[in-house]
Every structure is written in structure tokens, then in C-alpha cells.
Amino acid sequence: MGIFNMDSPKEINSVFWDSKKKSWEYKIVQVDEYHGWTECQYCNKPMSHNIKTEGEFKVVYVKCGCTRTD
């Protein structure tokens, strides 16, 4: 998990695969509790965030700094 010193975000612009549209889509997710992030092994920027939203713990994904597609 990343040790980057960042304030707890109030919302995150998450990215997810829409299987009907067959494309990446984005959704703003409200953050109730923030529990850290996991970094991209290539660019060392956040790739996923561990949060609590709408009463559930979730992992939400974001585009990392290098946005690798390999």
C-alpha cells in the first residue's frame, strides 16, 4: 500500500469497464472513510483506493500516472 502523504479525498473519479459499451467509463464516488491506496508498479502513482462508501468497503480504481495499457 502506498505511503504517499495525501489528505483523505472526499470523492474519487473511478474508472471501470462497461461491458455493454465495451469501453472504460468514469464515475465520481463519494468517500465516507479513506483507508489508503495501492500504487502502480510502473509509475508509483495511485492505481486503486481502499474506501468506505455507501456503508460498504470497496476498492475503486483510477487511471494511474502512466495509464499503461499493456
Structure confidence by residue, pLDDT tens digits, 23-64: 999 999 999 999 999 998 888 889 999 999 999 999 999 988
CB neighbour burial string for 10-43, b if at least 16 within 10 angstroms, e if fewer: eebebbeeeeeeeeeeeeebebeebeebebbeee
What is the pTM assigned to this prediction? 0.76
Q: What is the pLDDT of residue 2?
A: 47
Q: Does pLDDT of 20 surpass 80?
A: yes
Q: What is the pLDDT of residue 7?
A: 74
Domain count, the chain: 1
Q: Is position 62 within any domain?
A: no
Name all contacts of 43-47 with Cβ < 8 Å and 24+ positions apart: 43/68, 46/2, 46/4
Q: Is position 4 within any domain?
A: yes
Q: Is position 38 within any domain?
A: no
Parent domain of 6: 1-33
Q: Is position 56 within any domain?
A: no
